[in-house]
């Protein structure tokens, strides 16, 4: 554990992946599930009995996708994607995009990116603002990368680099990365405001759950409960629905 972090990742993460893991059957499960979804279009155009059977196939297919992708670690999902390509000659992300839709698609596709590629994508999307904001975001991102390089990325910790960055930034600058005060409280607040009131800010909800579920989500959930007065899973149950809700609950856990 790095001296500056203050928590053990193995105790704070929620998703840890399958213990006995083989990407080949998982890739086959996903292929069959998406093949069934594709066949649904013809099924629901027949008679009522056939339509109900089609919807049953749809639910089973979506549940299979949820069961595989939300119960594997990111590293395991990358191996599944490689196996999917090797077995069926198709890109898994593109296949998921073609068969899913809406918030559920956004969540499932987000799970398929390696962590740093996902962070870069989200940062790029956030930069669709004024040039001044872009400059600020880039600066903050670069400093965070330097902090990471000084800490967990290498064996041991470059304390000189870490202290220099923290001590040479203005208070205003450091507040832009509120994690210098309490990273878990910061993300808990983001989740709270994403779920608070009418409507859900799904982009924020997905971003935090996906990026933190293998890092420190259990600690974020504890802070969320202090802020919201109820568990994160209860808030998700109240504010989301369908397969999107099921996938989110698998990722954050329902036993806060």
Residues tagged in the binding site annotation: 197, 199, 239
d(CA 209, CA 213): 6
Binding residues for Ca(2+): 197, 199, 239
How far apart, in whole angstroms, are the C-alpha atoms of residue 59 and residue 167?
Answer: 54
Q: What is the DSSP letter of 254?
A: S
> Per-residue b/e over 54-82, b at no fewer than 16 CB within 10 Å?
beebbeebbebbbbbbbebbbebbbbbbe
Q: Taking CA 194 as the corner, what is the angle to CA 64 and CA 137, rounded to the nearest 5 degrees?
A: 105
Per-residue tokens: 193:
């405001």
First to last CA, the chain: 24
Q: What is the DSSP letter of 251?
A: H
């Amino acid at each position: 554990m790095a001296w500056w972090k203050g928590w053990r990742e193995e105790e704070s993460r929620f998703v840890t992946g399958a213990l006995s893991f083989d990407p080949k059957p998982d890739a086959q499960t996903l292929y069959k599930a998406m093949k069934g979804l594709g066949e649904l279009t013809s099924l629901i155009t027949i008679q009522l009995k056939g339509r109900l059977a089609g919807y049953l196939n749809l639910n089973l297919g979506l549940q299979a996708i949820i069961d595989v992708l939300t119960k594997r670690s990111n590293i395991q999902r990358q191996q599944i994607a490689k196996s999917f390509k090797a077995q069926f000659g198709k890109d898994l992300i593109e296949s998921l995009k073609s068969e899913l839709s809406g918030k559920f698609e956004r969540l499932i596709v987000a799970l398929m990116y390696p962590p740093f590629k996902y962070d870069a994508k989200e940062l790029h999307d956030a930069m669709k603002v004024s040039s001044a904001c872009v400059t600020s975001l880039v600066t903050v991102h670069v400093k965070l990368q330097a902090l990471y390089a000084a800490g967990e990325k290498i064996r041991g910790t470059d304390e000189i680099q870490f202290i220099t960055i923290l001590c040479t930034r203005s208070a205003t600058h450091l507040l832009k990365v509120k994690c210098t005060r309490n990273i878990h409280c910061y993300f808990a607040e983001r989740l709270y405001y994403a779920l608070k009131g009418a409507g859900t800010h799904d982009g924020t909800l997905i971003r935090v759950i996906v990026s933190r579920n293998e890092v420190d989500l259990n600690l974020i959930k504890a802070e969320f409960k202090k802020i919201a007065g109820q568990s994160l899973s209860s808030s998700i149950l109240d504010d989301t629905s369908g397969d999107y809700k099921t996938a989110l609950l698998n990722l954050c856990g329902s036993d806060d």
